[in-house]
Structure 1
């Protein structure tokens, strides 16, 4: 069966007057010149205000790069994130606003990720005790990944506080070293932070997932949800090509996976798949390693598997070879892992 292909880094589908406009307005409010801000993005301010312009993830990244450089402030990504969700993006924002619970809000964030968070893809894991929300790169965020990550974490934190009416006790794992602007994390996310982690992820006790939120309208939410689904169907996909690849690798992680087999699943030649991945700043082995790493971490820390069981699950012939691969994925031996899913 041919795999469906999603959007790519050069696909023009992001409404310029939605998330990009949020960043533009933040920059303008701090006295940044609009021409400098939009330089190299292929976008003019009049295009944004027309309400008709659509830009690609690459153009959005250029806008973010310019904003980072011109604003030159440690709080820029966090202030951007605070303004992102539910946003003023038409029916999809209405649907999110009328979420009846955290579970419904996160499910809508995942379902409508192309409309609400086109640069990083939210993904959920949970067990009996904890909910975990983590992100994967949708289309090659490059040097802007830290900025976008900070914005996404802040967006969900602020959204859940606004809609639940209370500050939820989120804990954060960050897959990079503690930055010099740590105080911005304390101000915007709180102090439950773990840097140098294996995944960028926010976690919450499961009891908060189903608690009813106070101001949701079931009728208004249902109508907005239907309109949002129609908008997504018109686009023709719900996520990016890189999302589709990750999902395929994850679903088939126990099968023999190589470039040729996966290219065939996507109905393209190996050379075409390599070119497409290169365009997004990645490669097949990097994507396969990421999927294997996520599965291994899940099996170790949520399922309590031993080295031998994880190696067998991932179809490694011997534990030594698996340990060597695991260290390549994570920089650590399995015995050196800190608790991630707790």
Structure 2
């Protein structure tokens, strides 16, 4: 197999891991405004929800850093086009991540209800902003953007305003809804009642119908306009996983619900990256044919060194993160 294909698969793997792990972090943050109760009771529920992700959220962000570094080293032309043309939305994503991260870390620094409420608002805003823009950005990467004769993108007219097309906006909403559902199943997996039953109710009665309808339309749109023949398989798996999520929530089966949303995100990611391959930045203009895994890649020698480095380093990082999840596997209480 070509090293270009291997590194495309690895980058897809890193982003998929990020969407699965950081997805429930975003989801928990976006669910904070919907916690029941008033005053101190509401504060205790939000505190317990944040404790479910407290030990792991910062480690989950390592996946996107790794994915970005892999793009930079393996496909420098993809990196140059993406990070220049999508400059404004990427900056807004970083602002959302900073806002959320600072709020999580500083939430317990001042022991007042008002301070924690403001931090919770920042966590929710940062989570919504990042989730929505990840959906908009990735949808447009797969859909294609109007590259000029140099293979670059106008960073404002096309790289920001151009991303806000109907399919891109639907992708943003689909990412937000799916991450919220994933966050609800994660709270159900990690919290005791009453927070667990509250998350189940939100996931079953509110989020599941939105994800099934909105997400289904989004994936069908992608598949019918951009997708390949084989991507029908992960699309079908995604739909079945969402139906299994509904079943798990209805029966109070935390494991089934959480692992089903995990499979749904995995299937959605495979549809997106499968529809993108072998391109990395398709062009919708006649001025440039677009970047693919071959004309955007580094030299074979660079890819060889990166491959050996990944073989040595990645297992160590993965073992460390698995150990962290195992150490903090117990449920939290309100």
Q: TM-score range by the shorter chain?
A: under 0.3
| TM-score in terms of structure 1 length | 0.26
Bigger strand fraction: 1
Bigger helix fraction: 2
| TM-score in terms of structure 2 length | 0.26
Higher relative CO (Cα under 8 Å, sequence separation at least 6) belongs to 2
